[in-house]
Amino acid sequence: MTESLKPDAGRAMTRRSVALWEAAGAAFIVVAGSALHFVFEWSGGWRPIAWLAAVNESTWEHFKLGFWPGLLFAGVEYPFLKDRVGNFWAGKAAGLWTMPVLIGIVFYGYKAVLGRHFLWADIMLFVVAVAAGQAVSCRILTAPPLKPVWRRLAAAGLILLILAFALATYLPLDVFLFVDPRNGRTGIF
């Protein structure tokens, strides 16, 4: 049954199981995303890996640190959960959208209020945004079936994110999200 949680006595167990998967996903995303912060540098600036790893200190590049590990973890958990939950890809899309949106709003919000950013706050924000994304995903995974239009919109949103994160490092826009605050440049340099 892929449209909603199984309606039997195993429903509570399925909810716990999904919550455990999403918590494990949060831990994986935080660790893998933290490592991705350095992969481009460790590779010696190898351009073909730039779609995956942060290539500068722009906000956009930091958004990728949650997205790619989150998408990878979704691929890992899919075979285990696809028959136990509904709305799998809708839940994953919503969670993957939650992370960068929350990071962007809170980062620019606290920076506007305080006049600067703090590394410790940025790290904590990343952890909180990942946890929030996984919580949103869990809620949608265990919810009643979504209407087909919402599932199609979620799929389109996920495809949009994949394309944006894969291409925008190579073709950055000239907007604040893409600007490295250290030198005012965008993209790979």
Q: Would you put residue 117 in left (φ > 0), alpha (ψ -120 to 50) or beta?
A: beta
**In a domain? residue 183:** no
Q: Looking at the predicted structure, is the pLDDT value of residue 4 above 70?
A: no
**In a domain? residue 27:** yes
Q: Looking at the predicted structure, is the pLDDT value of residue 162 above 50?
A: yes
- Residue 2 pLDDT class (50, 70, 90 cuts): very low
**In a domain? residue 189:** no
pTM: 0.91
User: For 25-52, what is the mean pLDDT?
Assistant: 97
**In a domain? residue 184:** no
User: For 38-55, what is the mean pLDDT?
Assistant: 96
**In a domain? residue 89:** yes
Task: Report helix, strand or coil for 179.
Answer: strand
Task: Report helix, strand or coil for 156.
Answer: helix
Place of tokens 């079936």: 145
Q: Looking at the predicted structure, is the pLDDT value of residue 65 above 80?
A: yes
Q: Are 21 and 77 in contact (CB under 8 A)?
A: yes
Position 86 scores a pLDDT of 84
Indicate the average pLDDT of the chain.
Answer: 93
Q: CA-to-CA distance for 70 and 161, rounded, in angstroms?
A: 12
User: For 40-49, what is the mean pLDDT?
Assistant: 96
**In a domain? residue 186:** no
Q: Which domain holds residue 173?
A: 11-178
**In a domain? residue 3:** no
Task: Report helix, strand or coil for 181.
Answer: coil
Percent share of the chain, pLDDT over 70 = 93
Helix 11-42 vs helix 119-141: crossing angle, to nearest 10 = 140
**In a domain? residue 165:** yes
Q: CA-to-CA distance for 20 and 157, rounded, in angstroms?
A: 25
Number of separate domains in the chain: 1
User: For 93-106, what is the mean pLDDT?
Assistant: 98
Nearest to 10 by CA among 101, 142, 185, 156: 142
Q: Looking at the predicted structure, is the pLDDT value of residue 89 above 60?
A: yes
